[in-house]
Amino acid sequence: MPIPAASKGSLLWLGHRSDEEAVRLILCADVGVVPFTSHPFNDTGLPYRILKYARLGRRTIAPDLAGARTWERAVTFAPDTDAWVTALREAAGARARPDIELREWALAQRAAQQNAPLWQRLAEIGVVS
C-alpha cells in the first residue's frame, strides 16, 4: 500500500517494487531524477538509476555530480532549483516520445565505464595504483 510522503502533496512513496513494476512506473514518467545534494559522499557515487532510466529512453535530471558525469549523455544537469524547474518543464511529455538513440547507447554500456569514477577515486586516495 502506498504511503504518502509527509507534507509533499505531489510525491507518493510506493515502497519497494519489483524490477517489472519499476519498469512500468518508469515508462509512465517523462524523466528520471537523482535528487541528491551536492556533497563529497554523493559526488563519488554512481547513480545506477541513470542507466536504468536511459535503457527505457528516459533522460535523468541530476545535480552536477562526478558519478553522474560518467553517463552525461543521459543526464540534464541542474545545479539549482531554477535549473530543476526548467529541466522538468522541458521534459514534460517526453514519455510519449522515448529517446531511442539514448536507449541504444544505454544498452551498450559496460562495467568498465560504469565503475570508472570509483576506480579513479580509489587511485586518488592511494588504495589502488
The structure's pTM equals 0.76
Cell of 6: 509527509
Apex CA 12: angle with CA 8 and CA 15, to 5°?
Answer: 130
pLDDT at 59 over 70: yes
At 9, the pLDDT band (50, 70, 90 cuts) reads low
**Residue 13 or residue 102, greater confidence:** 102
What is the mean pLDDT of the segment spanning 31-42? 87
What does pLDDT average to over the chain?
A: 87
Question: Can you tell me whether residue 3 is helix, strand or coil?
Answer: strand
Long-range contacts made by residues 107-114, C-beta under 8 angstroms, separation at least 24?
107/55, 109/51, 109/71, 113/70, 114/46, 114/48, 114/51, 114/70
